[in-house]
A and B are shown apart, each in its own frame.
Chain A
Amino acid sequence: MVQKEYAGKVIELDDNGYFTNPDQWTKEMAKEMAKENGEELTDKHFEVLEFIRKKIKSGESLTIRSIGKSGITDIKGFYKLFPGAPLKKATLYAGVSKPSSCV
Chain B
Amino acid sequence: MKKLLILGAGTGGTIMANKMRKVLERDEWEITIIDQFKTHYYQPGFLFIPFGFYTKQDVIKSKSDFIPIGVNFIQSKIDKVDGDNNKVILQDGEVLNYDFLVISTGVRIVPEETPGLKDKLWHKNVFDFYTIEGAMALAEFFKTWKGGELVLNIADNPIKCPVAPLEFVMFADAFFIDRGIRDKVNITFVTPMEGAFTKPRASKVLGGMLKEKNINVVPDFYLESVDNDKKVIRSYDEKEVPFDCLVTIPVHMGDSMVKRSGLGDDMNFVLTDKFHLNSTKFDNIFVIGDSANLPTSKAGSVVHFASEVVTENLMCAIEGRPLTAKFDGHSNCYIETGHGMGALIDFNYDTEPLPGSFPFPGIGPFGLLKETRMNHYGKLMFRWMYWHILLKGKEMPIPSEMYMAGKEV
Residues of chain A whose beta carbon lies under 8 Å from any beta carbon of chain B:
59-61, 63-66, 69-70, 75-76, 78-79, 83-85, 100-103
Chain A contacts of B295 at CB under 8 A?
61, 100, 103
| B206 contacts partner chain A, Cβ-Cβ < 8 Å | no
Inter-chain CA distance A100–B297, complex, in Å, is 11
Minimum C-beta distance from B245 to chain A (A): 24
Minimum C-beta distance from A55 to chain B (A): 9
Q: Contacts A64-B156, A65-B156: A59 and B274 contacting too (C-beta < 8 A)?
A: yes
- On chain B, the number of residues with a Cβ less than 8 Å from chain A's Cβ atoms is 27
Inter-chain CA distance A64–B251, complex, in Å, is 12
Chain A contacts of B269 at CB under 8 A?
61
Q: Are B158's CB and A103's CB within 8 A?
A: yes
Inter-chain CA distance A66–B157, complex, in Å, is 11
Q: Contacts A61-B158, A61-B295, A65-B156: A103 and B198 contacting too (C-beta < 8 A)?
A: yes
Q: Are B265's CB and A60's CB within 8 A?
A: yes
Q: Would you list the 3 A-B pairs with minimal beta carbon distance, nearest first?
A: A102-B157, A102-B198, A69-B266
Q: Residue among B293, B295, B296 with the most chain A CB within 10 A?
A: B295
Q: Are B156's CB and A75's CB within 8 A?
A: no
Minimum C-beta distance from B295 to chain A (A): 6
Q: Are A76's CB and B265's CB within 8 A?
A: no
Inter-chain CA distance A66–B271, complex, in Å, is 14
| CB-CB nearest in chain A for B274 | A59
Minimum C-beta distance from A50 to chain B (A): 16
Interface string of B266-301 (1 = CB under 8 A from A): 110101001000000000000000000101110000
Of B156, B198, B199, B331, which one neighbours A63 at CB under 8 angstroms? B156
Q: Are A100's CB and B198's CB within 8 A?
A: yes
Interface string of B109-139 (1 = CB under 8 A from A): 0000100000000000000000000000000
Q: Are B293's CB and A60's CB within 8 A?
A: yes
Inter-chain CA distance A84–B237, complex, in Å, is 8
Q: Are A64's CB and B198's CB within 8 A?
A: no
Q: Are B236's CB and A75's CB within 8 A?
A: yes
| CB-CB nearest in chain A for B191 | A102
Q: Residue among B157, B267, B293 with the most chain A CB within 10 A?
A: B157
Q: Can you report 5 residue pairs joining A to B where beta carbons are below 8 Å apart?
A: A61-B269, A64-B156, A65-B267, A85-B220, A103-B162
Minimum C-beta distance from B194 to chain A (A): 8
Chain B contacts of A63 at CB under 8 A?
156-158, 267
Interface string of B180-215 (1 = CB under 8 A from A): 000000000000110000110000000000000000
Chain A contacts of B296 at CB under 8 A?
103
Of B113, B193, B266, B274, which one neighbours A66 at CB under 8 angstroms? B266
Chain A contacts of B251 at CB under 8 A?
65
Q: Are A102's CB and B193's CB within 8 A?
A: yes
| B240 contacts partner chain A, Cβ-Cβ < 8 Å | no
Contacting residues of chain B (134-174) with chain A, CB-CB under 8 angstroms: 156-159, 162
| CB-CB nearest in chain A for B271 | A60
Inter-chain CA distance A71–B56, complex, in Å, is 42
Known A-B contacts: A75-B222, A78-B236, A103-B158. Give 5 more (CB < 8 A).
A63-B158, A65-B266, A69-B266, A75-B224, A83-B237
Inter-chain CA distance A70–B267, complex, in Å, is 11
| CB-CB nearest in chain A for B157 | A102
Minimum C-beta distance from B110 to chain A (A): 11
Minimum C-beta distance from B301 to chain A (A): 13
Q: Are B293's CB and A103's CB within 8 A?
A: no
Q: Are B156's CB and A103's CB within 8 A?
A: no
Inter-chain CA distance A103–B160, complex, in Å, is 10
Q: Are B265's CB and A66's CB within 8 A?
A: yes
| CB-CB nearest in chain A for B298 | A103
Chain B contacts of A84 at CB under 8 A?
237
Q: Are B236's CB and A79's CB within 8 A?
A: yes
Chain A contacts of B222 at CB under 8 A?
64, 75
Contacting residues of chain B (284-323) with chain A, CB-CB under 8 angstroms: 293, 295-297
Chain A contacts of B293 at CB under 8 A?
60-61
Q: Are B158's CB and A102's CB within 8 A?
A: yes
Inter-chain CA distance A70–B271, complex, in Å, is 17
Chain B contacts of A102 at CB under 8 A?
157-159, 162, 192-193, 198
Chain A contacts of B198 at CB under 8 A?
100, 102-103
